[in-house]
């Protein structure tokens, strides 16, 4: 398997179960966070309560940025405003340009920055290409619960095996 598709931490957890302490112990100071699937379902406009609480706690310890491939700036802006976090929509992950802009805005050593997302071929690949830490989390359903059978991820992992 190519290292470009390998998450530093394949957590198998929804984002709201990621330990803040573990992130701090890994030296992480800044978080770039994917939106659709990671913070809430793409089919939902409601940020789950436990996600909101996790974000609230995170803000005490980390500098945060939302980075979404969704071209709908209105949707991502509403979510970012509700959480009071800076954001980029239409980020074109796994292309590096916008992610690198965000990284330079964070003003932090790259090894102290992590990207958290639910997809390998966008979130994990762009993080690895930008030399930051990469954390794969479970995709959230419309009810805000981790999806048990995530076909996208199964397919991405299958394809990853055959990448050189
Ligand atoms: Mg996503």
Per-residue pLDDT reduced to its tens digit, 51-100 = 999 999 999 999 999 999 999 999 999 999 999 999 999 999 999 999 99
The confidence score (pLDDT) of residue 90 equals 98
Grouping H, G, I as helix, E, B as strand and the rest as coil, residue 102 is: helix
Q: What is the pTM of this model?
A: 0.96
104 CA from centroid of ligand 1 (Å): 22
3 CA from centroid of ligand 1 (Å): 20
15 CA from centroid of ligand 1 (Å): 12
Secondary structure element (H or E) that encloses residue 86, with its range: strand 86-88
156 CA from centroid of ligand 1 (Å): 13
Over 80: is that where the pLDDT of 114 sits? yes
Domain locations in the chain as residue ranges: 3-162
The confidence score (pLDDT) of residue 2 equals 80
Residues within 5 Å of ion ligand 1 by Cβ? 34, 36-37, 118
Topology annotation, domain 3-162: Rossmann fold (3.40.50)
């Amino acid at each position: 398997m190519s290292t470009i598709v390998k998450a530093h931490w394949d957590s198998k957890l929804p984002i709201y179960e990621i330990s803040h302490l573990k992130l701090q112990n890994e030296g992480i100071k800044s978080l770039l966070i994917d939106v659709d699937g990671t913070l809430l379902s793409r089919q939902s406009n409601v940020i789950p309560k436990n996600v909101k609480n996790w974000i609230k706690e995170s803000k005490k310890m980390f500098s945060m940025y939302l980075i979404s491939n969704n071209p709908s700036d209105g949707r991502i802006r509403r979510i970012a405003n509700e959480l009071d976090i800076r954001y980029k929509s239409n980020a074109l992950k796994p292309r590096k340009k916008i992610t690198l802009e965000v990284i330079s805005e964070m003003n932090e050593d790259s090894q102290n920055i992590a990207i958290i997302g639910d997809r390998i071929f966008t979130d994990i690949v762009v993080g690895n290409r930008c030399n930051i830490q990469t954390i794969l989390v479970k995709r959230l359903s419309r009810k805000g619960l981790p999806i048990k059978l995530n076909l996208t991820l199964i397919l991405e992992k299958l394809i990853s095996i055959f990448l050189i």
